[in-house]
Amino acid sequence: MPADDFAIITAAETDGSLYNEDLAPLPPEKRKWGAFEIFNVWSNDIQSLFGYTLAASLFISSGINGWWVFAAIVLAGLIVMGLVNLTGRPSVKYGIPYPVMARAAMGVRGANLPAMIRGIVAIFWYGVQTYFASTAVAMLIYALFGGAEGATFLGLTTVDWIAYVFVSIFQVALFMRGIDWITKFLNWAGPLVYAVMILLALYIWFRAGNGLFSELGVIFSGAAAEDGTSGGVGAFIGVVGTMIAYFAAVIINYGDFARFVQTDGKMRMGNFLGLPVSLAVFSFLAMFITAGTAAIFGTILTNPAEIVGQVDSVLLTLIAALTFFAATVGINLVANFIPPAYDLANLAPARISARTGGMITAGLAFFIGAFWVAAISTIGIAVFVDTLGAILAPLYGVLVADYYIVKKRQLDVPALFSPSPTGLYWYEGGWNRKALYAVGIAGVFSVATVWVPVLGALSGYAWLIGAALAAALHVWLMGRATYTAPAPAPAE
């Protein structure tokens, strides 16, 4: 994209309803991320306490051979890599975040709807991940001072509440320091968590002895299913679908990160190392450690905070608590805090900055995380993940189909910020009703696959169904003759 296009945007006459500095295209000279930074985004996402719990739960509840679960998780990583390469490419090319990218498909006003849907889902994730990060801090306090027992409120003890409030404040403080500080935080947290995971795996192996391999045999046979059911091809695809749904929040707004990357090649390399490769290593460690907990403690533990809390090494407890806390906080900021901050800013750019949007996000998410133990978690982790994924999937389908098929990979960037009724992306009053119909129809069906018993066999496919159906509907409703793409930008 020519550098002049960035000057056109910043100098454009707008009414303030579509533009502020947080949403403006990022010039190439301000992009500092390479493959390592993208790798760490994914590593921290995978390494979060919730990510570990989800992976471990799939190994013991899917009812299929552990190697098939492992293969399904890695396959999901390959699929997610392909999906984010698609959503990231236009943001690398044009330097725009997800809410602005959505304007091309949904209209300059209509983009507020997908931005808010993504923002609401991110706020839910942010609250839940804040709670999981606080369990690491609580574990640290218990290891140093004791006091794990006591009265509870909403399922949390006094120490749990102190840890939760601390994490909530810490995350906001880090966000206020800016993206450079967050990037540095991720760059040391990701590798360190792997070091601690390997150390924990070796410790578990030492404690479990030969009993570890017996428990691994149970997992590999598929006999560890909590409900006693056995799976098959459906269960395999269900694991793939659930893992894709776990990443759904990042898949849809991946452009918010990709805009910081210097080149498309560095983005793709970071995605490869951070998704299938990193996911394979982490999943193997999760399977190994989970089997060890059954051999040592007589029960399967799927939360690493609980595992480390059972270990009789204060030093290992302290190191693990700090690193898991860092990994969960890091990805929570990048995947669940920054996106809704941008999304809220997109609603009223003249009045809401990304910083203000972040404060709103933190306030709403605090209550969601506080109710995780007492209410939200009761629906089950897989159902929670699949539901949020089903909500976001149609947005992805429309976004990608619009850019690659309808718009033929060419955008008029100044028009994305234009409030003029004659603008290319004004559609009908600023809304593209055809795209909204596609999202609505596909969204109802994909969410129904999770909650309607008759469609229960499709629940693991909720994300895939929602994205594919929305993409097909959007292309069909738009028709190739209804849009005239701008002239291709000259090569840089």
- DSSP character string of 283-332: HHHHHHHHHHHHHHHSS----HHHHHHHSS-HHHHHHHHHHHHHHHHHHI
Q: For the chain, give the percent of residues with pLDDT over 70.
A: 82
User: Taking the C-alpha atoms of 200, 206, 209 and 213 in order, what is their torsion angle to the nearest 10 degrees?
Assistant: 30
Residue 174: CB atoms within 10 A of its CB come to 17
- Whether residue 210 lies inside any domain: the answer is yes
Residue 149: CB atoms within 10 A of its CB come to 9
Q: Who has greater pLDDT, 463 or 398?
A: 398
- Whether residue 345 lies inside any domain: the answer is yes
Residue 402 confidence (pLDDT): 95
User: Taking the C-alpha atoms of 250, 251, 255 and 260 in order, what is their torsion angle to the nearest 10 degrees?
Assistant: 60
> What single-letter amino acid sits at 112?
N
Q: Who has greater pLDDT, 252 or 441?
A: 441
Domain range spanning residue 255? 4-373+399-423
Residue 264 is part of a domain; what is its CATH number? 1.10.4160.10
378 vs 219: CA distance, rounded Å: 25
Element (DSSP H or E) covering residue 476: helix 462-478
pLDDT tier at 304, thresholds 50, 70, 90:
low
Q: Is residue 59 predicted with pLDDT exceeding 50?
A: yes
Tens digit of each residue's pLDDT (9 = 90 or more) over 392-430: 889 999 999 999 999 999 999 989 988 888 889 999 999
- Whether residue 163 lies inside any domain: the answer is yes
Q: Is residue 454 predicted with pLDDT exceeding 60?
A: yes
- What DSSP line would sit under 368-426, residue for residue? HHHTTTTTGGGG-HHHHHHHHHHHHHHHHHHHHHIIIIISTT---HHHHT---TTSTT-
329 vs 322: CA distance, rounded Å: 11
- What DSSP line would sit under 71-137, residue for residue? HHHHHHHHHHHHHHHHHHHHHHHH---HHHHHHHHH-TTTTHHHHHHHHHHHHHHHHHHHHHHHHHH
Whether 140 and 318 have beta carbons less than 8 Å apart is answered as yes
- Whether residue 81 lies inside any domain: the answer is yes
- pLDDT mean over 235-250: 82
Residue 467 confidence (pLDDT): 92
Residue 221 confidence (pLDDT): 60
Residue 388 confidence (pLDDT): 76
Question: Whole-prediction pTM value?
Answer: 0.78
- pLDDT mean over 56-84: 85
Average pLDDT across the chain, whole number: 79
Tens digit of each residue's pLDDT (9 = 90 or more) over 314-364: 777 777 777 777 777 877 777 777 777 777 777 777 777 777 888 888 888
Q: Is residue 84 predicted with pLDDT exceeding 90?
A: yes
Q: Who has greater pLDDT, 217 or 466?
A: 466
- pLDDT mean over 435-464: 83
Residue 431 confidence (pLDDT): 92
Range of lowest pLDDT (35-39, 370-374, 479-483): 479-483
- Whether residue 476 lies inside any domain: the answer is no
293 vs 368: CA distance, rounded Å: 30
Residue 487 confidence (pLDDT): 54
Q: For the chain, give the percent of residues with pLDDT over 90.
A: 21
40 vs 47: CA distance, rounded Å: 10
Tokens 């790798």, residue? 39
Residue 15 confidence (pLDDT): 53
| Number of domains comprising the chain | 1
pLDDT tier at 283, thresholds 50, 70, 90:
confident
- Whether residue 442 lies inside any domain: the answer is no
Helix (H, G, I), strand (E, B) or coil at 279: helix
Q: Tokens at residue 34, please?
A: 């390479």
- Whether residue 447 lies inside any domain: the answer is no
159 vs 427: CA distance, rounded Å: 54
Tens digit of each residue's pLDDT (9 = 90 or more) over 85-125: 999 999 999 999 888 999 999 999 998 888 788 778 788 88
Tens digit of each residue's pLDDT (9 = 90 or more) over 130-156: 888 888 888 888 877 766 666 677 778
Q: Is residue 159 predicted with pLDDT exceeding 80?
A: yes
pLDDT tier at 2, thresholds 50, 70, 90:
very low
Whether 322 and 188 have beta carbons less than 8 Å apart is answered as no
Whether 204 and 287 have beta carbons less than 8 Å apart is answered as no
| Phi/psi of residue 330, nearest 5 degrees | -60, -50
- Whether residue 75 lies inside any domain: the answer is yes
Residue 228 confidence (pLDDT): 43
Q: Is residue 213 predicted with pLDDT exceeding 50?
A: yes
Tokens 């808010």, residue? 116
Residue 301 confidence (pLDDT): 67
